[in-house]
Homo-oligomer: A and B are copies of this chain.
Amino acid sequence: MRAESVPEPTLRRLPSYYHYLVRLREKGQEMISAAQIGEDLGVHHTQVRKDLAFTGSQGRPKVGHHVADLVASIETFLNWNNATDAFLVGAGHLGTALLGYAGFERAGVKIVAAFDTRPSIIGKKIRGVSVLPLEKLPDLARRMHISIGILTVPAEAAQDVADLMIASGIQAIWNFAPTVPDVPNGVIVENVALYSSLGVLSHKLAVHRRAALAASSGPKPA
């Protein structure tokens, strides 16, 4: 019960620290301060400390944190040290990009099979992963104890596929379709909603331009 009380923003920032720290480690740097992490990643330094505290890692005054320890702490905390097997449904454009992307395996997810309904790709391998007919999903998911499903089908098919995944014992869905699937209590859904960052981008850009325009055509006094 206690462990669930980790702020979601913290869970979203940790992967970002993780990547940063891995690159640092590759460069041979041994120690790092929270202040430096914060500056490079655009996060307040006290925030960085609080986030890292959740992973159980301790820093030392004057020298900071041990990079390798931090990496290990985050891995353990997020359960990224032994990747969980996942199925991907919808081996289209986006699905193909995700299949075989090395980054995910490091982030706790290993795509072991893909499923689709399109006859022309069934039986083929995409970036080393076999594409199987959707009908085989329920049986295989149960036998292989798959708990993560990645959803990259068109919006119209998303709900049906989500239902099928859940009926097959899948507990967590990583959804890339622009709809929110309706799932029973207890099933975890992470909606990626790529276009939602376009909401922020477009609006900020519009405001930015409006401000630039206002500034050029005579700034208003306070």
Contact = CB atoms under 8 A, between A and B. Distances in A.
Contacts of A8: 200
Interface in A178-192: 178-180, 182, 186, 188, 190, 192
A36 interface: no
Interface in A1-28: 1, 3-4, 6, 8, 11-16, 19-20, 23
B16 A198 contact: no
A61 B34 CA distance: 52
Give the 8 A-B residue pairs with the shortest CB-CB distance, closest first. Answer: A79-B206, A97-B97, A15-B199, A108-B202, A93-B97, A107-B198, A12-B196, A11-B200
Contacts of A140: none
Interface of A: 1, 3-4, 6, 8, 11-16, 19-20, 23, 40-42, 77-80, 84, 93-94, 96-97, 100-101, 103-104, 107-109, 147-148, 155, 171-172, 174, 178-180, 182, 186, 188, 190, 192-208, 210-211
Contacts of A1: 211
Contact of A194 (B188, B192, B208): B192
Interface centre among A8, A155, A180, A205 (most CB of B within 10 A): A205
B197 A12 contact: yes
B188 A201 contact: yes
Contacts of A109: 198, 201-202
A67 B63 CA distance: 58
14 contacts: A3-B210, A4-B207, A6-B203, A8-B200, A11-B199, A20-B179, A40-B180, A78-B202, A84-B205, A93-B100, A94-B101, A108-B202, A172-B205, A174-B198
Contact of A193 (B15, B40, B93): B15
